[in-house]
Amino acid sequence: MRSPSSSAPPPAASPKAHVLRQLLPIALAVFVGFLTIGLPLPVLPLHLHDTLGMGTLAVGVVIGAQFAAALLSRAWAGAMADTQGARRAVIAGLVLAACSGLAYLASLAFVATPATSVGVLLLGRLLLGCAESLVVTGALSWGVGLVGPHNAGKVMAWVGVAMYGAYAAGAPAGVALQAQWGFGGIALATVLTPLLALVLVAGLRPVAPSATRRTPFYQVLGAVWLPGLGLALSSVGFGVITAFVALLFAAMEWGNAALAFTCFGLAFIGARLLFGHLPDQLGGARVALVCVLIEALGLLLIWGADSASIAYLGAALTGFGYSLAFPGFGVEAVRRAAPQSRGAAMGAYVAFLDISLGITGPAAGALAGAWGVEAVYLVGALAVALSLLVALRLLSSAYRGVQHV
């Protein structure tokens, strides 16, 4: 008799609607949970810069700390998903996300001593990084366990829609909360939204752990490093928008920076909804090849923008291109992973996102201090363009086959 927690058989003959039905509850929980990240996006850099008097380098370090913590916790998150179950990893991540909100609240008690307040905020960002690692790795592993590895691109597409939908919706909501209740309103919201997501996942069916022992993380990392490198380079565009678009709009006196996040997020979601099936059908490397060019063009538009409308268009093109670069390179990573180490492979692949964003924050902060905040978008475009070479290498290796770990 099948255990209630055992994974469903691969739905090879299932219609597309059946796959979507299984993925939507997980995606909804990820969306609600990721509002914890989306709400502070346009507000936290300005809180650090204007309220606490921090420079651009310090802003980059605090923003980038989340991604550094996520990187360091990817191996742990992947091992938990493989050996204890993906559902448990998601639940643990949501609890940590609520704790990060508590740290945001606590930081407000030390505004009179900015260094202490920044330190407490830094703790919150570190907790949030661990939370993000667990939620994303668990959700990806959970989704692939439910609908099969042949639908990995769809899993990444829908989890990505949830993540970046939370950024798109969270940014203007965060501005509204800040205007009404200040940074304290943002902090309280980051406590409550993960708790709501916990309610959403409480009744969802888990999948059985895929392994009884942990696959060494370095082995998994070695198998997915090439698509991971493509993800890292293509993620620089997302990193410079996340950390510095609010400061760019303030420096140029363009007004509503939150709309840039919304343009990025809506274009990201639109690309996933319309074309999210293409990496599974056409191959991840082919899709990534085209999309990184679109992303680089968007960043160049932001760099050369002389008005907010051009910057909004650049943000939208960046979001559209990055949207399918992520599952494009990700499908190539899944092809290189054995079933028993799939959670670890998801963790290893997304770790390259953390590496990219962890480096991009402080590096772009130093660049902005020396050359102006608009310069980070030119350098970002060049970095994204380099991922074209990775896509070409993956495309050539696809014809030779891959080795599983």
Give the domain range for residue 202: 16-397
318 in a structural domain: yes
Task: Label residue 215 by pLDDT band (50, 70, 90).
Answer: low
372 assigned to some structural domain? yes
More confident residue, 401 or 66: 66
Q: Please, what sign has the CA dihedral across residues 137, 139, 144, 145? A: positive
In a domain, residue 269? The reply is yes
Instruction: Write out pLDDT tens, residues 104-134.
Output: 999 999 999 999 999 999 999 999 999 998 9
**What is the rounded CA–CA span in Å between residue 187 and residue 101?**
5
- The answer to whether position 1 is within a domain reads no
Is the Cα torsion angle 300, 383, 278, 21 positive or negative in sign? Answer: negative
Q: Is residue 6 part of a domain?
A: no
What is the model's pLDDT at position 346? 76
- CA dist., res. 135 & res. 159, Å (int): 10
Structure tokens at 394: 């993956």
Q: Residue 209: how many CB atoms within 10 A of its CB? A: 20
Instruction: Please tell me the predicted confidence (pLDDT) of residue 210.
Output: 59
Total domains present in the chain: 1
Q: What is the token pair recorded at 312? A: 């909004």
pLDDT tens, position by position, 217-232: 667 777 788 999 999 9
Q: Which range scores top for mean pLDDT: 32-41, 315-324, 338-347?
A: 315-324
Q: What is the CATH number of the domain that holds 367?
A: 1.20.1250.20
Where does residue 106 rank: exposed (0-12), middle (13-18), buried (19+ CB within 10 A)?
middle
How does residue 11 score in pLDDT terms, banded at 50, 70 and 90? very low
Give 232-261 pLDDT, tens digit per residue.
Answer: 999 999 888 877 888 888 888 887 887 888
Per-residue pLDDT, 25: 87
Look at residue 206 and give its three-state secondary structure: coil
Type of residue at 356: S
Residue 302 lies in a domain: yes
Q: List the structure tokens of 249.
A: 């709009």
Place of tokens 């660049």: 367
Q: What's the CA dihedral at 263, 155, 389, 63 to 10 degrees?
A: 50
User: Which pTM was predicted?
Assistant: 0.71
In angstroms, the Cα distances linking 10 to 18, 54, 85, 109, 149 are 12, 52, 18, 52, 8
Give a yes or no: residue 402 inside a domain.
no
Residue from 286, 297, 299, 291 nearest 268 by CA: 291
Band of the pLDDT at 6, cuts 50, 70, 90?
very low
Highest mean pLDDT among 12-16, 17-21, 51-55 belongs to 51-55
Q: How many angstroms separate the Cα of 265 from the Cα of each of 193, 238, 262, 389?
A: 19, 10, 5, 26
- Whether 5 is in a domain gets the answer no
